A and B are shown apart, each in its own frame.
Chain A
Amino acid sequence: MDWQSLTLTVELALIVAGILLVIGLPIAYWLTFSKWQWKFLIEALVALPLVLPPTVLGFYLLIAFGAQSPLGRWWQSITGQTLAFTFEGLIVGSILYSLPFAVQPVAASFASVDPKLIAASATLGASRLKTFGRVILPLSVPGITTGAALSFAHTVGEFGVVLMIGGNIPGVTRTISIDIYDRVQAGEYAGAGQTALILLLFSFVVLSVIYALNRKVWAAWPFK
């Protein structure tokens, strides 16, 4: 059993879910409330990772991370290394790959907030930001925890993108799914099975806890 790849995976998934929580909220807000007529283009763009094979996304990321691309050159000029085959590169790739899983549940719960509540907040003198903080956000807690849980779980289970842009460097980019693949390739079925079982149980427990909290969301919401 390779604990290093498990902790690496959990670390990656936590960071990705955390970042997605922060950038997913404004994206979901914009997607829900914007009246821009070309909004559907952005919606399609956000949903793209749902349908694209991970290898396609991984391939473009690899190109973007390379020294020929502006992004790659910019990153290299400030860090002195390339994004490809690094933990930071994995974070960037995973954020893009898991974006729809974070944004869509949150956007759906924003959209399900009764528009009259938003109107009522406005007539009571609240700014858009205050309405967001005091009405939309608290009423969307179930969607937000779902989004965070799904992006966490999706990152844990990611394989193709990691393989394309991260490779297989122990302690840096070897996530648990790569580890399992590696063991199977090497004929180590016992080790692969053990790791797979741990991943299965871990994922199930995490999802169960989050869904259980979701069910009693008012009991768990600390900012009443």
Chain B
Amino acid sequence: MKHLAGLTSDTRGERARLFVRVNKRFPASADTDSDFLLQVEFGVAAGISVILGRSGAGKTTLLDCIAGLTRPDSGVVQVGDRVFFDDSRIIDLPPARRRVGYVFQTLALFPHLSAQENVEYGIAHIDSRERRRRSDEMLEAMRISGLRSRKPRDISGGERQRVALARALVTDPSVLLLDEPLSAVDAPTKSRIIDDLRSWIDRHQIPVLYVTHSREEVFALASHVVLLEKGSVIGKGSPYEVLDTPRHEVAASWAGFENIFDAGVLREDEDGGTITCSIGEVNLEIPLARHSGKAVRVGIRAGDILVASEKPVGISARNVLPGRIVDLIRRDAVVVVQVDCGITIEAHITHSAQSALDLREGSPVWLIIKTHSCHVLQRSDRES
């Protein structure tokens, strides 16, 4: 293992690229009525890549395949030129020989060992003075030097996360897998841990897969996002590409589209670059996009919708929908307004806007939606 420690930094970036192509079928069981098929292919460079997906999307199985804890039916897993798994070449390194740092969702700290013993577990093969030096250094970097002799049950949740990270990082892994490692800590603790983790990753330049189902973490962390749904990759790229201009219904719900409708296409205006479509009684003008025949799925962010208490005139927005407020809920800094325009549309406004317009349940309002605030989405059932 030591022969890789001497890689020079200029070659490391390219060598450190993680490539994954795995197929794995899980037969239907008592809990699932149909087979689950994990079928993914992607490559990521050094730095943090977020694997985003709902529970059951196959995120943990994917990490287990990379770590060697689950054997794919076929495929390739490699980091740089080190091949972990390749069914065509009959290569399947056992987990112990992959040099993968894996922080489990449950952390899996050894309960009978102290924090320092946990951290030293993965470097037990090296000389004891060097081992102590490296674990001390790592405890210092993770700011947990004061806890070295404490058992996991005697320290706080955030400190346990730090011990688990330190235990994985001290082995100088070639790839780091983090399975929702920060799901159990509060936001300030989380952001401090992320800062320390980031500075370590900046220094070591290895690929990091960070699994989460939290959208906020994506923008806080990722240089790259892989969106996983039902065992398949349905989006990859920068967080902006995947979540801000979603092409897919599932990506859209991750990106915070509170309003998703199925609409019928009435007419296309190719010169004007728009489509007019109908959702029940309501007509909407939306941007021209590739769609399947007569039906189109439309996503609109609640924050992109304007609410007017009088009918607006002389306005560039093409969609002005009259309706009546059916519900108002205060949620943190916003007021969630449900408006019945024939269909129910959710809009978000500020507290001060609500009081200035004197909006309450039953108030008549006009919703103003720009054409380009309507996003045409690809449907998740892949019928197109």
Measured CB to CB, the closest approach of chain A to B193, in angstroms, equals 19
> Which one of A119, A134, A135, A221 has the highest number of Cβ atoms from chain B below 10 Å of its Cβ?
A119
Which chain A residues border B30 with CB–CB below 8 Å? none
- Is the beta-carbon distance between A117 and B110 smaller than 8 angstroms? yes
Task: Give the interface of B toward A (CB within 8 A).
Answer: 1, 67-69, 94-102, 104, 106, 108, 110-114, 121-122, 124-125, 167-168, 171
Nearest to A223 among chain B residues (CB) is B112
The answer to the question of A197 belonging to the interface, with a C-beta cut-off of 8 Å to chain B, is no
Given contacts A116-B106, A134-B121, whether A123 and B101 have CB atoms under 8 Å apart is: yes
- Is the beta-carbon distance between A127 and B112 smaller than 8 angstroms? no
Which 10 pairs across A and B sit closest by C-beta, in order of nearness?
A124-B122, A120-B108, A116-B108, A122-B95, A123-B102, A138-B112, A125-B96, A123-B95, A119-B69, A122-B96
Measured CB to CB, the closest approach of chain B to A144, in angstroms, equals 14
Which chain B residues border A124 with CB–CB below 8 Å? 96, 121-122, 167-168, 171
- Is the beta-carbon distance between A120 and B1 smaller than 8 angstroms? no
- Is the beta-carbon distance between A127 and B96 smaller than 8 angstroms? yes
Nearest to A116 among chain B residues (CB) is B108
| New A-B pairs, 8, CB < 8 Å, besides A114-B108, A116-B104 | A116-B106, A119-B104, A122-B68, A123-B102, A124-B122, A126-B96, A126-B124, A127-B96
Q: Report Cα–Cα, A218/B153, bound state, in Å.
A: 13
- Is the beta-carbon distance between A117 and B94 smaller than 8 angstroms? no
Task: Give the interface of A toward B (CB within 8 A).
Answer: 114, 116-117, 119-127, 130, 134-135, 138-139, 218, 221, 224
- Is the beta-carbon distance between A122 and B121 smaller than 8 angstroms? no
- Is the beta-carbon distance between B102 and A125 smaller than 8 angstroms? no
- Is the beta-carbon distance between A123 and B100 smaller than 8 angstroms? yes
Nearest to A138 among chain B residues (CB) is B112
Which chain A residues border B1 with CB–CB below 8 Å? 125
Q: Report Cα–Cα, A124/B169, bound state, in Å.
A: 10
Which chain B residues border A119 with CB–CB below 8 Å? 67, 69, 95, 102, 104, 108
Query: Among B99, B112, B114, which residue has its beta carbon within 8 angstroms of that of A125?
Result: B99
Which chain A residues border B68 with CB–CB below 8 Å? 122-123
Which chain A residues border B125 with CB–CB below 8 Å? 125
Measured CB to CB, the closest approach of chain A to B173, in angstroms, equals 9
Q: Report Cα–Cα, A141/B171, bound state, in Å.
A: 28
Which chain A residues border B100 with CB–CB below 8 Å? 123
- Is the beta-carbon distance between A126 and B112 smaller than 8 angstroms? no
Contact residues of A: prevailing secondary structure: helix
Q: Report Cα–Cα, A121/B67, bound state, in Å.
A: 12
Nearest to B97 among chain A residues (CB) is A125
Query: Among A114, A123, A126, which residue has its beta carbon within 8 angstroms of that of B69?
Result: A123
> Which one of B68, B95, B98, B124 has the highest number of Cβ atoms from chain A below 10 Å of its Cβ?
B95
Which chain A residues border B96 with CB–CB below 8 Å? 122-127
Which chain A residues border B98 with CB–CB below 8 Å? 123
- Is the beta-carbon distance between A135 and B110 smaller than 8 angstroms? yes
- Is the beta-carbon distance between B111 and A139 smaller than 8 angstroms? yes
Q: Report Cα–Cα, A124/B163, bound state, in Å.
A: 14
- Is the beta-carbon distance between A122 and B112 smaller than 8 angstroms? no
Q: Report Cα–Cα, A224/B151, bound state, in Å.
A: 11
Measured CB to CB, the closest approach of chain B to A7, in angstroms, equals 37
Q: Report Cα–Cα, A134/B171, bound state, in Å.
A: 17
Nearest to B100 among chain A residues (CB) is A123
Measured CB to CB, the closest approach of chain A to B293, in angstroms, equals 48
Query: Among A114, A125, A138, A224, which residue has its beta carbon within 8 angstroms of that of B171?
Result: A125
Q: Report Cα–Cα, A127/B111, bound state, in Å.
A: 19
Which chain B residues border A139 with CB–CB below 8 Å? 111-112
Nearest to B94 among chain A residues (CB) is A122
> Which one of B67, B97, B108, B168 has the highest number of Cβ atoms from chain A below 10 Å of its Cβ?
B108
- Is the beta-carbon distance between B121 and A117 smaller than 8 angstroms? no
Measured CB to CB, the closest approach of chain A to B282, in angstroms, equals 51
Q: Report Cα–Cα, A218/B154, bound state, in Å.
A: 14
Nearest to B120 among chain A residues (CB) is A124
Measured CB to CB, the closest approach of chain B to A76, in angstroms, equals 46
> Which one of A120, A138, A218 has the highest number of Cβ atoms from chain B below 10 Å of its Cβ?
A120
Which chain A residues border B110 with CB–CB below 8 Å? 117, 120-121, 134-135
Which chain A residues border B171 with CB–CB below 8 Å? 124-125
Nearest to B117 among chain A residues (CB) is A224
